[in-house]
Chain A
């Protein structure tokens, strides 16, 4: 009886195992009882992307299986690594009826043609897992230099700050020289993490933030200016066109027609001084207000008190009447006069020499004259006795 049953058990097991192999055969191929499994067998990625597969190795047999894993037919230039439990592995042992994870990391290079690529994860002699990667677009080998806002507007005195991003989409580490082509008088500063730089280093597939500060000359005319900026290495380069719209510069100069900034006043008296306001900028200046900072109890009156507008390159005449304090003591004083618009201001410091009034001097002379006159009258009265 026992003799009869032995082949039957073998046949039954064989059928069962055949059925199991039949069930998983569309994934694993050969029916050896070990299956390689991953859910994403066909993936579409752009160039430069990395793919992480998780591959399950399933042991359906009743024996411990040693499975060596390798990759076949990987396209040229692609790289991979296989890891499990933190280790780079070549062979794996799986207990009966259990499964193990293998992480497969594949780097798709930037420089790759559009198309369908096939490769196989193989456990030689045990199982095969064919995988398909569709590269969705034509791959490149280049650098990208971009900014979200390439255009800025402001006056000539303002500084323009552009935030740009430099993407290294080549396979190697790159050291970019940063250059800008500007007309003379312009100042360009490249800054990376707050420091002014002339070159920047970027790891492959990394993005560096570059701040570009553009300072136009103060006396520039209004208009639109294009500034080509480039990040260059020996093998790759990227350009970025910045656009600066200058609305004009504001510059105001206050002086006297002769350039003389000192004057003299007798105590309590007034002095009228001609002042010249010159617009040295490229935009008209409007609503120029005049103010002063004089010693206590002094008064400064401007005529006119406010200048409506000065066209670029033109001058306006203003008269300031300075009145010294009645009780001012002799000596030199500072009087500051300031012309101010919302945009700019200009200041002159006048040296005012205060002179004592001659009235008391003459009074003294009068007293002395009286004294001498007394002596003279004494001479006349007694002198010829």
Chain B
């Protein structure tokens, strides 16, 4: 029995996962073995995390993202030490420049996260359901005395935990290395801003994770789901901008237009762009990591007159980007709700 178990484990890791979960679930439901009682839901989560961490796919992505992040840290450090212009407002938040400043050779940390975050989310979720179904493990898993929604919830939770740990680790590494190189500790305000940035990043990656889980439920082939996710990502990253540019060109007000018309036009174009999650993410992180940003809309001279160029407190910065945060979080939750409903209502017995 043991040997056979090993053979199965070597032959098919997913099968083995199902086995482990089944045995653990059985154990936990047995009152005799109560000393190590873990909730079945967390058993699935642990197993999923272990799978992610051991998979080549995830490790390659981690190395890729870590390398780009350290590259961007290097460029921001060289830009910092080269000496930017002394500016009283931005110098107060020197530490945050680690995440936003660049000397032009590589994009900054935030840009990398906004670019590679979707890739991470898609890669962690595109085969969540359909590969298990194709291998027949899903029906065995659901046959166990666990609630059916544990499967999808656990898959989502596990991926989210992996993403959170990774982003936190990266940000803290950047903070730590920056601390060593700059020698100036971050102020509490800066620390909270960095924390908010990490949370928003997690939310942003979670959106793409949920989207790819949704695709993995909708499409039977993992490749199709992955392609769909990447297609959406590419569309939003490249083609949507082109589309908005075309609309903007056609709608451009004449030179004779009043300033109100121009502002209304600009506002409309901005709102069109804000359909894209990466735009929401960029606006939110820019405002949080650059406290001198006061508004994300075009400003009139009237609104600028009499202002003191001072940084906003964190609460106010959050209020400025609150719509963006709401949109991002709502989109994430919506994707999850769709995939949840879709998973719960589907037939999973057939292969």
Contacts and interface: CB of A to CB of B under 8 A. Distances in A.
Given A297-B302, A330-B320, A375-B333, A382 B149 contact: yes
Interface of A: 294-298, 325, 327-335, 351, 355-356, 358, 360-361, 363-365, 367-368, 371-372, 374-375, 378-379, 381-385
Nearest to A371: B333
B276 interface: no
Given A360-B323, A364-B325, A382-B345, A333 B308 contact: yes
A37 to B, nearest CB: 92
Contacts of A355: 315-316, 319
Contacts of B345: 382
Contact of B308 (A325, A328, A334): A334
A332 B308 contact: yes
Given A298-B306, A329-B295, A385-B149, 14 more contacts: A295-B302, A296-B302, A327-B303, A329-B299, A330-B319, A332-B310, A334-B308, A355-B316, A358-B319, A361-B322, A363-B326, A371-B337, A372-B333, A375-B337
B306 A333 contact: yes
Contacts of B56: none
Contacts of B236: none
A329 B294 contact: yes
Is chain B's binding surface mostly helix, strand, loop or mixed? Answer: helix
A375 B340 contact: yes
B307 A295 contact: yes
Interface residues of B, number: 32
B290 to A, nearest CB: 13
Contact of A382 (B315, B320, B334, B344): B344
Interface string B325-347: 11001100110110011001100
Nearest to B301: A296
Contact of B306 (A334, A356, A358, A363): A334
B147 interface: yes
Contacts of B337: 371, 374-375, 378
B312 interface: yes
Contacts of B312: 330-331
Given A364-B323, A368-B330, A331 B308 contact: yes
A364 B305 contact: no
Contacts of A364: 322-323, 325-326
Contacts of A295: 302, 305-307
B141 to A, nearest CB: 14
B41 to A, nearest CB: 11
Given A331-B307, A334-B306, A335-B306, A356 B323 contact: no
A329 B298 CA distance: 11
Interface in B117-159: 147-149
Contacts of A335: 306
Contacts of B341: 378, 382
A296 B329 contact: no
Contacts of A371: 329-330, 333-334, 337
6 contacts: A295-B305, A332-B308, A364-B325, A367-B326, A383-B147, A385-B147
The residue in B306, B310, B312, B341 that gathers the most chain A C-beta atoms within 10 A of its C-beta is B306
Contacts of A379: 149, 340
Contact of B303 (A329, A360, A363, A367): A329
B144 to A, nearest CB: 14
B233 to A, nearest CB: 22
A180 to B, nearest CB: 48
A330 B333 contact: no
A335 B333 CA distance: 44
B336 A360 contact: no
Nearest to A365: B326
A356 B319 contact: yes
A368 B149 contact: no
A365 B323 CA distance: 10
Given A334-B308, A372-B333, A356 B320 contact: yes
Contacts of B305: 295-296
A297 B329 CA distance: 35
Contacts of B303: 296, 325, 327-329
Contacts of A356: 316, 319-320
Contacts of B147: 383-385
Contacts of B323: 360, 364
A331 B344 CA distance: 48
Nearest to A372: B333
Nearest to A293: B306
B166 to A, nearest CB: 24
